Chain A
Amino acid sequence: QQKVQQSPESLSVPEGGMASFNCTSSDRNFQYFWWYRQHSGEGPKALMSIFSDGDKKEGRFTAHLNKASLHVSLHIRDSQPSDSALYFCAASDQGGRALIFGTGTTVSVSP
């Protein structure tokens, strides 16, 4: 069982629409959360980090963290075809051990 689960596995969004997906961890030691994006044929690239409860906004991307429920979400406003990619949630504990990646959500944005 993966320690970091993501849902849905995949979703389709029309261009200009809102894409939302979730991440839940099973380890209460996790303190640091990241969202990474991986385009086909490339390595993952960090989108944003979130370490405190609440919302964090960076451009069209908003992350939300609820440490009590170990739930993180990412919302992409005004989705663009270039946002089509595989999105990973990643978590690590305060000791800075290995970054644990989630199961991934594939986002397809259609023009």
Chain B
Amino acid sequence: ETAVFQTPNYHVTQVGNEVSFNCKQTLGHDTMYWYKQDSKKLLKIMFSYNNKQLIVNETVPRRFSPQSSDKAHLNLRIKSVEPEDSAVYLCASSPRDNSYEQYFGPGTRLTVL
């Protein structure tokens, strides 16, 4: 049963374009995350939000920015995409901090031509 929803499933774009991915969770969780999964399947945390506060911000390029309207939504915007941004972007949520289980969405696959 899916409780973390991501759109779109796939996106193909050209270098330099802006893209935005959406994520919504219906679990009532307090914390949401964005991860990047590269072509080698490595999973790296990008951002996490707790009560609309950014609590973890790993060293990601400034062209990436998370956007949250409420605790159920956390979108990801990429200004001026680069070829190395091609990856699967996974959204997740958890009840509180990382001692609790994280629930992942199905991911958005980005291809930058």
Please give the residue numbers on chain A whose beta carbons come within 8 Å of chain B beta carbons, in ascending order.
2, 32, 34, 38, 41-46, 49, 51, 86, 88, 92, 96-101, 103-104
Contact = CB atoms under 8 A, between A and B. Distances in A.
B101 interface: yes
B45 A98 contact: yes
A63 to B, nearest CB: 14
Given A86-B41, A104-B42, A43 B105 contact: yes
Most buried by A among B4, B42, B106: B42
Interface of B: 4, 33, 35, 41-45, 48, 56, 58, 90, 92, 96-99, 101-107
A98 B58 contact: yes
A46 B101 contact: yes
Most buried by B among A44, A86, A96, A99: A99
A97 B98 contact: yes
Nearest to B46: A98
Contacts of A44: 43, 90, 104
B19 to A, nearest CB: 19
A46 B4 CA distance: 14
Contacts of B42: 2, 101, 103-104
A3 to B, nearest CB: 11
Given A43-B4, A44-B90, A99 B41 contact: no
Contacts of B103: 45-46
